[in-house]
Structure 1
Amino acid sequence: MERNGKATSDSKESQWVRLQSTDGFSYLVKRKVAEASGTVRNMLDSEAGGYSEALTGVCEITERGIIVEKLVEYMSFKTYYETVNTKDDVPVKEFMERIPPEIVLELLLAADYQEM
């Protein structure tokens, strides 16, 4: 968005945010999905602390691309199924089968840091 000749991105106006990994991968996700992470939600809150992420809509996640990808998958899964009335309707087992065993510990630590 451009205002007065300057490119700006108001957090309330932008529906999309970019999550970037340390190894150069980036994921464009809807703001509602990204805010499933408490850490990202705080980064994007323009009133909380004036973080640059709130202005740019770009959040640097200090994890490898595969980890950020799985975090994004979980945020999407969580956002999609948060309105389900019963736990039986949520295919948790199917989601868990998509996580490679060799990244489970790293993913768990990243999810904890991201407040998910």
Structure 2
Amino acid sequence: MDQDVEMPDKGAELAEDWVCMTSPDGFTFLVKGKVAVVSGTLKNSLTSGLEESQTKLIVMTERGVVAGKLVEYLAHKSIYEKEGATDIPDFAERVAPEIALELLMAADYYEV
């Protein structure tokens, strides 16, 4: 007698989890899993067999001000990424010129 065994959907589980993201200068951000997986890099880390998938802790290399703006953008993108969304506010207006280059490099690394 064969029984179909359903494998848990890691993406669905992760959507309900919280992810802790820390910067080297001591800032910590708690992010809903469904927001974190907007980033391709974070999604891969959190759904693979890596330590991050168990601990839900992401240690970032970006300083806190950049990490905070990246987290803010992930939330912005998760809200406005829906198909057919209109009146999407321009996020660039919320980025200080002093961190623009660092944020661009972080966005590239995190695939957002």
Normalised TM-score (structure 2): 0.82
| Match in the other structure for 2:88 | 90
Instruction: For 2:44 and 2:24, locate their aligned partners in 1 and report how far apart those are by CA, in whole Å.
Output: 20
Q: CA–CA distance in 1 between the matches of 2:95 and 2:68?
A: 11
SS in structure 2 at match of 1:85: coil
Could you say which residue in structure 1 is the equivalent of 2:105? 109
Which residue is equivalent to 2:41?
39
Q: Alpha-carbon deviation of 1:16? A: 0.5
Structure 1 residue runs without a partner (length 5+)? 1-9
Name the SS of the counterpart of 1:115 in structure 2.
coil
SS in structure 2 at match of 1:36: coil
Question: 1:73-88 to 2 correspondence within 5 Å?
Answer: 73-86=72-85, 88=86
Q: Which residue does 1:52 correspond to in 2?
A: 51
The amino acid across from 2:99 in the alignment is I
2:61 partner SS: coil
Identity of aligned residues (%): 49
Give the Cα–Cα distance (whole angstroms) in 1 for the partners of residues 100 and 83 of structure 2: 26
Task: Report how far residue 84 of structure 1 moved.
Answer: 4.7
Q: Secondary structure of 2:62's match?
A: coil
